[in-house]
Structure 1
Amino acid sequence: MQQLQNLGLSAYFLQQLKADELETLQLARISRVNRNNLHALTPDKDDRALQEIQLLTPSDQTTGEFAVGDWVSYSPVNTEGASGMVLRSLERQSTLQRRAAGEDVQSQLIATNIDVAFIMTSCNADFNLARLERYLALVRSSDIQPVIILSKSDLAEDIYQFKPQAEAIDPLIPVIAMDTRDPARIPALMDWWRKGQTAVLLGSSGVGKSTLLNTLSGGEEATAGIREDDAKGRHTTTARSLFSIANDRWLIDTPGMRALRLYGVSEGIQAVFSDLEQLADQCRFADCSHSNEPGCAIQAAIIAGELEPKRLQRWQKLQREEQYNSESIHESRARNKAFGKMIKRVSSESRRMKGQ
């Protein structure tokens, strides 16, 4: 039990288990998701250390239904290359997901059971307020503590052209400027990341996620530079993985996401743009489009120089995207459910006809 608690097993997960299950069930935490199996961490036989095992999924589930950070119970198996079979998953405390890239109308899990999200952006041409707001909407929708990290601060000619912009999004969100290679800057992160908690690294390729991971863990994860012409990074992390950090903290590294399409984050958008939400409540008309209607509080704030027009545009863009993606995925799931029912009905009728 001590090793499980060190791995992040909190009271939230323990209360999902019955007393007899605590004594008999074997628990593990997913550390990597592959196409055909899952890698997980679990205590060794003596409960003195953690070991990595491979788990198979039940026949009615795919690995795509699991995410790094998940807690599962499993039973041992004798299958070559595998240590156990997943029995069930514990209810997630938090979930990060997006609409899958490409034309597929479905959601994609990013990571689960996260306490803190380190959202990274570089102090160079890659700095993008719209992208920061997008990541913040994703994180705030799952009730996860966000921390903005401005990386490559040692290379910036003027850090203060970036920091005030990030702080202006929400004064309550911490913004930390740092050289991710400098161990002396790590204590600033620990103020928001307590023992037993799990953090996730989010951001575009090349912003320094793998470099920060190396500094935190003392490891040697692959890193790559940035393109000189546009400051965009190259992919270094290719899969989501769970890493152990000193002092019983855990970190999930994620590949850079060029397309972060939001889904199911309406509450997160409201939180990130709470200033606009409050102004909208003061508009004369409940269905105000905030363009040219009389009595629009948002347009009044823009005219008074209290609000940037671009922030209004970004808010409305995220609202439209969220509505479209959520409706598309809901409709897709409804079609798949209806199709599944039709297949069962046809199969049932076919068996009945053969029996006659």
Structure 2
Amino acid sequence: MTYSTLADLGWSAHFARQLDDDSTGTPARLCEIHRDRVEALSPAGPLTLRSPDSTGAYAVGDWVLARDGLVLSRLERLTTVSRRAAGEAAQRQLIAANVDTLGIVTSCNDDFNVARLERYLALAAMGGSLPLIILTKADLTDEPDDFRRQAEALSPMVSAIALNAHDAAAVDQLTPWCKSGQTLALVGSSGVGKTTLQNALTGIIDATQDIRSDDAKGRHTTTARALRPTLAGGWLIDTPGMRELRLTDAAEGIDAVFDDIVSLITQCKFNDCAHETEPGCAVQAAIAAGALDAGRLKRWRKLKNEDRYSTESVHDARERYRKLGKMYKAHKKPR
């Protein structure tokens, strides 16, 4: 498949400004990342590219300049979606790049979890993508609007849609977020319907296993990220289900999601207020008046503390590897 213009692939003025008279190579957008190569799309058609750098430095959705089957350089990203990598290693994992809208998929059942949604909203805010909460399985509840209202109450940035992912007309509600030049990425737990949404939006049928009777969750076969064209003319990035979502370097994103608490903090009597029992605490006053949920304050504290620890761990690991690299180079120098 070929695309008539770079704009069809999501090219914008942000990327054009990075080119100058000395720029060489053809712009291409990465659609798949493999250990030894990357797959890309260009107006001339698909490309298989090698890179002098590790492919781990790239994300699906990145723009690169390529020539003769090689990646020459990566253009600065407009947005990023990343988290702290799973496991004990203090590393950041790139999930996707240049995503206009982050579709946070959950369902109108026990998967709906306010604390998890707030994490995903912080993920979107810290990377610069617009958040859209997509509530699937709306046909299996009598009150889908209750779930939608709860989702939209989490942040003024949020739009939320409740739908039946198996109903093509309902899925058409997502068209504004994945039409020509737009990129929508889907994130969420396994079994909430991301693959079913992908199938409806792209016309590409991926295997979706039967629903488990014990927890009403489907099992699908998405194991890697890929950039796919949508029927509406835009782009979709589906991601494997995340068992855990740990944030790092997300302080600004967390504050954006919890803007109501951040605003209250500025009204506290003391600058070092811990928002517990101090006199003149605007946060505790709001809780007492019923204007702020105490649980929301608790979740904000947890995210801030976790991000602080995670960010310090990642920075410490980078510094350690930097020092080890210097020692290794010094040892390798001829004497």
Partner residue, 2:36: 36
Give the RMSD, CA atoms, in angstroms. Answer: 1.7
1:257, 1:290 → 2: CA distance? Answer: 33
- Residue from 280, 303, 311 that aligns with 2:265: 280
Partner residue, 1:47: none
Which amino acid in the other structure matches residue 26 of structure 1?
A: T
Partner residue, 2:59: 67
Partner residue, 2:124: 139
Matched, 1:234 2:219: yes
Kindly provide the CA deviation profile for residues 60-91 of structure 1, in whole angstroms up to 9, marking residues without a partner as x.
Answer: x2111111001111221xxxxxxx12111111
Secondary structure at the aligned position of 2:192 is classed as coil
Partner residue, 1:96: 81
Matched, 1:52 2:46: yes
- Residue from 15, 18, 23 that aligns with 1:16: 18
Task: Name the stretch that deviates more: 327-336 or 214-223.
Answer: 214-223
Task: Name the stretch that deviates more: 322-331 or 5-14.
Answer: 5-14
Partner residue, 2:301: 316
Task: Name the stretch that deviates more: 243-252 or 229-238.
Answer: 229-238
Which amino acid in the other structure matches residue 130 of structure 1?
A: A
Partner residue, 2:6: 4
When the two structures are superposed, what TM-score results if normalisation uses the length of structure 2? Answer: 0.94
Matched, 1:259 2:244: yes
Native 8 Å contact 1:206 1:224 kept in 2: no
2:179, 2:282 → 1: CA distance? Answer: 41
Q: How far is the alpha carbon of 1:15 from its aligned partner?
A: 1.3
- Structure 2 segments unaligned to the other structure (5+ residues): none
Kindly provide the CA deviation profile for residues 244-267 of structure 1, in whole angstroms up to 9, marking residues without a partner as x.
Answer: 012430111111111111011111
Q: How far is the alpha carbon of 1:163 from its aligned partner?
A: 1.8
Aligned ranges 1:1-356 → 2 under 5 Å: 2-19=4-21, 21=23, 25-44=25-44, 51-58=45-52, 61-76=53-68, 84-348=69-333, 351-352=334-335
Native 8 Å contact 2:131 2:157 kept in 1: no
Which amino acid in the other structure matches residue 55 of structure 1?
A: L
Provide the identity percentage: 51
When the two structures are superposed, what TM-score results if normalisation uses the length of structure 1? Answer: 0.89
Q: How far is the alpha carbon of 1:315 from its aligned partner?
A: 0.5
Q: How far is the alpha carbon of 1:343 from its aligned partner?
A: 1.2
Which amino acid in the other structure matches residue 57 of structure 1?
A: S
Task: Name the stretch that deviates more: 309-318 or 241-250.
Answer: 241-250
Native 8 Å contact 1:126 1:231 kept in 2: no
Task: Name the stretch that deviates more: 178-187 or 264-273.
Answer: 178-187
Secondary structure at the aligned position of 1:104 is classed as coil
1:279, 1:12 → 2: CA distance? Answer: 36
Which amino acid in the other structure matches residue 213 of structure 2?
A: E
Q: How far is the alpha carbon of 1:147 from its aligned partner?
A: 0.9
1:62, 1:215 → 2: CA distance? Answer: 34
Q: How far is the alpha carbon of 1:144 from its aligned partner?
A: 1.1
Kindly provide the CA deviation profile for residues 226-274 of structure 1, in whole angstroms up to 9, marking residues without a partner as x.
Answer: 4333345535311000000124301111111111110111111011000
Distance 1:235 1:218, change over 3 A: closer
1:233, 1:99 → 2: CA distance? Answer: 26
Report which of the two structures shows the higher radius of gyration computed on alpha carbons: 1
Q: How far is the alpha carbon of 1:191 from its aligned partner?
A: 3.2
Native 8 Å contact 1:291 1:299 kept in 2: yes
Q: Which runs of 4+ in 1 moved over 4 A?
A: none
1:13, 1:54 → 2: CA distance? Answer: 21
2:98, 2:260 → 1: CA distance? Answer: 29
Query: Number of residues paired by the alignment?
Result: 333
Kindly provide the CA deviation profile for residues 284-329 of structure 1, in whole angstroms up to 9, marking residues without a partner as x.
Answer: 2222222222221111111111211111111010001110111100
Distance 1:11 1:231, change over 3 A: same
Native 8 Å contact 2:178 2:236 kept in 1: no
Which amino acid in the other structure matches residue 26 of structure 2?
A: Q
Distance 1:123 1:225, change over 3 A: farther
Native 8 Å contact 2:84 2:248 kept in 1: yes
